[in-house]
Chains A and B, each alone.
Chain A
Amino acid sequence: DTGVSQNPRHKITKRGQNVTFRCDPISEHNRLYWYRQTLGQGPEFLTYFQNEAQLEKSRLLSDRFSAERPKGSFSTLEIQRTEQGDSAMYLCASSRDNEQFFGPGTRLTVL
């Protein structure tokens, strides 16, 4: 399968714990995006990479959130000291041009 993959697909954690999600984009795509989607809402932009450079970060991305794309391929999104309000679907997308291809998402539940 050459689509965007995300791991894990589901994560349940206790409040205060740290979690890390991984995204593997389509191999020839140099752009990678992270979004957050809560139930009944559209995805909200979190951050954007072009190759290994993080070019944009949303104001939604608080100090507890950090994203990396060290070699310009896969990316990780870490949430420190999780809060119940962090419960959401975290979507990754990649693109070579204007069309973004989304992964299946990681659903985070913070208890």
Chain B
Amino acid sequence: KNQVEQSPQSLIILEGKNCTLQCNYTVSPFSNLRWYKQDTGRGPVSLTIMTFSENTKSNGRYTATLDADTKQSSLHITASQLSDSASYICVVSPTGGYQKVTFGTGTKLQVIP
């Protein structure tokens, strides 16, 4: 069964600090990996999308990395802000078909002043 596991489950950091969220997946063959930010009660918003041939992708203070050999991805948030408080979801798409698009359960990040 294709799985996407994220860690930590939740994280509290001080405003201005950096943090790194992890995503391990078993989806194969692999098409692309996306990171989404989801505010409470809202739909997910795309942060980055990477194909298997890409190692890193940045979007402002968000930098995602991908190691397709070890099937690991990370999302690094630099100089965190209070507005970064949200759930961050890793989504992995296999090649062929949308049935098997697999969402992780997310990391709930809380940034405190």
Contact = CB atoms under 8 A, between A and B. Distances in A.
A48 interface: yes
B49 A99 contact: yes
Given A98-B93, A99-B34, A107-B41, A58 B99 contact: yes
A103 B41 contact: no
A99 B34 CA distance: 8
Contacts, number: 52
Contact of A42 (B97, B98, B105): B105
Interface residues of A, number: 26
B43 A48 contact: no
Contacts of A100: 34, 46
Interface of A: 4, 6, 33, 35, 40-45, 48, 55-56, 58, 89, 91, 93, 98-105, 107
Nearest to B98: A48
A89 B45 CA distance: 15
12 contacts: A4-B43, A43-B103, A44-B103, A56-B98, A58-B99, A89-B41, A98-B93, A100-B46, A102-B43, A102-B45, A105-B42, A105-B43
B101 A91 contact: no
